């Protein structure tokens, strides 16, 4: 006896698919370069916003979006590997992948804010550090991407593996939010479920992530202007 | 004996005048690219980031500086063995540079064309045209970086 339950709330699903598109776009714009590097920077800031939202949503979101509900503790991991784990959200192994992805993404976005491309692009917070430190962080930005790519590949392989070996479709629930689960499990889900997506909690999460985006994309530089060479027209000396 | 020594000395100094020892070549080219970076930065600020601050003469001067560096014959600074050595800092030239001469030449010529094209439109002062020409320059920078420059 199976019933349909809601596992992924709409903000979570939007986050997921926007992230997929953004990462692809960030990759393409970085590879093509030229004028597109500015778009790479903008997309990066958007990804920062997504990331901050996801972190806040990990505390304020509905049940299966919350970090506590799927944090990969050792007992949970052991139970899962022995086939004794029961649940409907992220399984403990998948949860490891979630935290790894969020962590690498944070490094990627964080270093990108201070990076430069030695051509004409400087990350929005470049002015706050030395060029040599920025070069080092740019190196990390390049290296971290390989880890990100590795995790994405692993993520896709896992989806294919679940589809063919375990006959579980993971993609459809991420699109619709709904999943077919055994009735017994469903009852435990519903009984432990908080009120779902609260409008107030959603607004609060959006405010926090938008504030961070505003801060790095211009707010901080406006409040604490850094203009190393006074590169403004009126400051041009006569020689 | 004296004559040989003199010949050696003259040859050595002549070679030094043309290209210089490895470290000197590396230092010159690092200086050239960092000077380019200063000028691309100026154009970027006034044409892309804050178009309202656009100053025709200021941008034209920067574009001329870029074209002058491009036309100075930078290729001379890539003598044999210059994939190893410290100029202002360790060079990031890939050893493959010496096997990819044709590709490098093509990429470098693209930069020269783009730089001269930028100087031309910068003299005319049309902001939109400058932005486009500037995009071609930054693209051409990346062409060489991707080809023969070791990533950070």
3-state secondary structure of A222: helix
Q: How far is CA B88 from CA B37, B91, B98, in A?
A: 15, 8, 22
Interatomic CA distance for residues A123 and A117, integer angstroms: 9
- Residue A86's pLDDT is 81
| CATH class (in words) of the domain with range A2-233 | mainly alpha
Interface test with B, best of A28, A119, A122, A144 (most B CBs within 10 A): A119
Q: What is the pLDDT along chain A (239 residues), one digit of tens a residue?
A: 778 888 899 999 999 999 999 999 999 999 998 889 999 999 999 999 999 999 999 999 888 899 998 999 998 999 988 888 888 888 899 999 999 999 999 999 999 999 999 998 999 999 899 999 999 999 999 999 999 999 999 999 999 999 998 888 899 999 998 888 877 776 666 544 545 678 899 999 999 999 999 999 877 777 777 666 554 545 566 77
Instruction: Record the tokens describing residue B109, joined without a space.
Output: 């010529």
Angle at A74 between CA A13 and CA A77, to 5 degrees: 55
Closest CA to A89 of A185, A206, A195, A11: A185
Report the half-sphere exposure of A236 (CA within 13 A, side-chain side): 16
Exposure letters A192-226 (e unless 16+ CB within 10 A, then b): eeeeebeeebbeebbebbeebbebbbeebbeeeee
Q: Do A236 and B33 touch (CB under 8 A)?
A: no
Domain ranges of chain A: 2-233
Written as one string, the DSSP assignment of A81-145 is HTT----SSS-HHHHHHHHHHHHHHHHHHHHHTT-B-SSS-B-TTGGGS-HHHHHHHHHHHHHHH
Residues in A closer than 8 angstroms to B136, CB to CB, are 34
Interatomic CA distance for residues A149 and A160, integer angstroms: 17
Q: Do B138 and A232 touch (CB under 8 A)?
A: no
Between B18-27, B96-105, B107-116, the lowest mean confidence (pLDDT) is in: B18-27
Residues in A closer than 8 angstroms to B33, CB to CB, are 118
The superfamily (CATH) of domain B21-148 is Cytochrome c/b562 (1.20.120.10)
Q: Do B44 and A120 touch (CB under 8 A)?
A: yes
- Cβ-based burial of A235 (10 A; exposed 0-12, middle 13-18, buried ≥19): exposed
Interface test with A, best of B35, B142, B148, B149 (most A CBs within 10 A): B142
DSSP state of B74: G
User: Any CB–CB contact under 8 A between A236 and chain B?
Assistant: yes
- Residue B7's pLDDT is 57
Position with higher pLDDT, B88 vs A230: B88
Q: Do B139 and A138 touch (CB under 8 A)?
A: no
Q: Do A35 and B135 touch (CB under 8 A)?
A: yes
Report residue B79: phi and psi, to 5°.
Answer: -70, 170
3-state secondary structure of B149: strand
- Residue A83's pLDDT is 85
CB B131 within 8 A of CB B137: no
User: Any CB–CB contact under 8 A between A120 and chain B?
Assistant: yes
Interatomic CA distance for residues A182 and A190, integer angstroms: 12
Interatomic CA distance for residues B24 and B44, integer angstroms: 30
> A182: part of which helix (H) or strand (E)?
strand A178-182
User: Any CB–CB contact under 8 A between B136 and chain A?
Assistant: yes
DSSP state of A218: I
User: Any CB–CB contact under 8 A between A235 and chain B?
Assistant: no
Estimate to the nearest angstrom the gap between the alpha carbon of A79 and the chain centroid.
27
B30-56 mean pLDDT: 94
Q: How many angstroms separate the CA of residue B53 from the nearest CA in chain A?
A: 7
Average pLDDT value for chain B = 89
Q: Do A231 and B40 touch (CB under 8 A)?
A: no
**ipTM for the complex shown:** 0.80
The pLDDT confidence band at residue B118, using thresholds 50, 70 and 90, is very high
Interatomic CA distance for residues B144 and B32, integer angstroms: 15
- Residue A192's pLDDT is 46
């Amino acid at each position: 006896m199976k019933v349909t339950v809601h596992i992924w709330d709409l903000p979570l699903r939007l986050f997921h698919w926007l992230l997929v598109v953004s990462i692809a776009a960030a990759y393409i714009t970085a590879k093509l370069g030229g004028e597109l590097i500015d778009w790479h920077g903008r997309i990066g800031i958007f990804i920062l916003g997504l990331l901050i939202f996801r972190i806040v949503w990990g505390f304020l979101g509905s049940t299966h979006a919350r970090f506590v509900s799927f944090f990969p503790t050792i007992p949970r991991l052991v139970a899962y590997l022995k086939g004794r784990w029961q649940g409907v959200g992220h399984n403990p192994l998948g949860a490891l992948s979630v935290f790894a992805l969020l962590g690498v993404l944070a490094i990627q976005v964080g270093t990108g804010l201070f990076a430069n491309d030695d051509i004409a692009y400087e990350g929005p917070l470049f002015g706050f550090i030395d060029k040599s430190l920025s070069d080092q962080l740019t190196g990390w930005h390049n290296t971290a991407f390989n880890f990100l790519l590795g995790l994405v590949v692993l993520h896709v392989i896992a989806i294919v593996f679940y589809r063919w070996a375990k006959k579980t479709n993971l993609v459809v629930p991420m699109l619709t939010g709904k999943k077919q689960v055994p009735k017994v499990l469903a009852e435990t889900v519903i009984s432990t479920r908080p009120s779902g997506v609260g409008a107030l909690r959603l607004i609060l999460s959006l405010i926090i992530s938008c504030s961070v985006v505003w801060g790095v994309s211009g707010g901080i530089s406006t409040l604490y202007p850094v203009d190393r060479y006074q590169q403004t027209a009126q400051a041009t000396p006569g020689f | 004996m004296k004559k040989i020594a003199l010949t050696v000395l003259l040859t050595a100094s002549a070679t030094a005048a043309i290209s210089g020892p490895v470290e000197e070549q590396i230092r010159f080219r690092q200086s050239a690219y960092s000077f380019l970076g200063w000028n691309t930065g100026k154009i970027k600020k006034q044409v892309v980031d804050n178009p309202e601050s656009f100053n025709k003469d200021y941008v034209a001067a920067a574009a001329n500086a870029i074209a002058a560096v491009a036309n100075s014959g930078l290729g001379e600074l890539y003598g044999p063995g210059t994939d190893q050595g410290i100029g202002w800092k360790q060079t990031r030239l890939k050893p493959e540079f010496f096997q990819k001469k044709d590709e490098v030449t093509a990429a470098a010529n693209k930069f020269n064309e783009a730089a001269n094209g930028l100087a031309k439109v910068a003299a005319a002062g049309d902001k939109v045209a400058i932005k486009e020409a500037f995009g071609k320059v930054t693209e051409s920078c990346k062409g060489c970086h991707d080809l023969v420059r070791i990533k950070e």
